[in-house]
Structure 1
Amino acid sequence: MGLLETMKQVAQATSDAGMPTAFLFGSVTKTSPLTIRVDNRFDISGDAIVVMKEFQAGFYPTHYHTGVKGSPSTEEKSGGSGDASFAAHSHTLKGNYQTNTDAKSEYYYGLAVGDKVVLLRNAGGQAFLVLGRV
């Protein structure tokens, strides 16, 4: 590598350090494999695209509920002060679950052809994170 090439690389690295990331806009052109045309200039696909689960099609477990199996569903409250509106009554317990581990899932539809997306490019320009749909 010559001196001129080394100087070019140093200048480019200095420039990249001043602006380590960049926002870009793109449009999905294919879903399999996912391909995005960036700023109507070039296409990216494969490992160059980092996609969060919200933009990938499929079912994903989101959370688990825990509780005491067979626990009561209401809580008794005593009345008072002689007024009928304060008579003894019961409240439904909001935190009562009938199973110890009740898995819940959400379905994400993923990106579709024609979706407009905003991308975050890393400093080297080798990876693009899909931030969301526009």
Structure 2
Amino acid sequence: MSVSRMLDVIKKASLGAVDAGQPLAVLFGTVVSVRPLEVSVDERFLLPEELLLVPESMRRQELTLSGQKVVIRDGLYAGDRLLLLRIQGGGQFIVLDRVVSP
């Protein structure tokens, strides 16, 4: 998902939340599996891949050079802690970033 598309989704969600009187919710989740992608939210419920909007920057990117695969950017791993934004109504969740411990 491109940054401009993600910003459009956030803007629309924000406007809808204001109109409905319900603010967006920021949640924490943990990646349970990568294929298929599943995220556990506060150990209360499990989000399947269909409900998650994952930005391109959070996806694995590889390049093949001289017949060898080179990892340009790591994707998500099981156990990763994530910062999530719930879109009004709870129908979709935007993965904002990984959460790292100091």
TM-score range normalised by the length of the shorter chain:
0.5 to 0.7
Gapped regions of structure 2 (runs ≥ 5):
1-16, 64-70
Letter of the 1:131 partner, please give it: L
With normalisation by structure 1, the TM-score equals: 0.51
Q: Report the equivalent of 1:133.
A: 98
Structure number having the greater helix percentage: 2
Give 1 or 2 for the bigger CA radius of gyration. Answer: 1
Letter of the 2:97 partner, please give it: G
The answer to which structure, 1 or 2, has the higher relative contact order (CA under 8 A, 6+ apart) is 1
SS of equivalent residue, structure 1 residue 27: strand
Letter of the 2:24 partner, please give it: T
With normalisation by structure 2, the TM-score equals: 0.66
Matches within 5 A, 1:23-42: 23-42=26-45
Query: Between Structure 1 and Structure 2, how many residues are aligned?
Result: 75
Gapped regions of structure 1 (runs ≥ 5):
1-13, 61-105
* CA RMSD, Structure 1 to Structure 2 (Å): 2.1
- Extract structure 1 runs of 4+ deviating beyond 2 A: none
Q: Report the equivalent of 1:108.
A: 73
1:118 aligns with 2:79: no
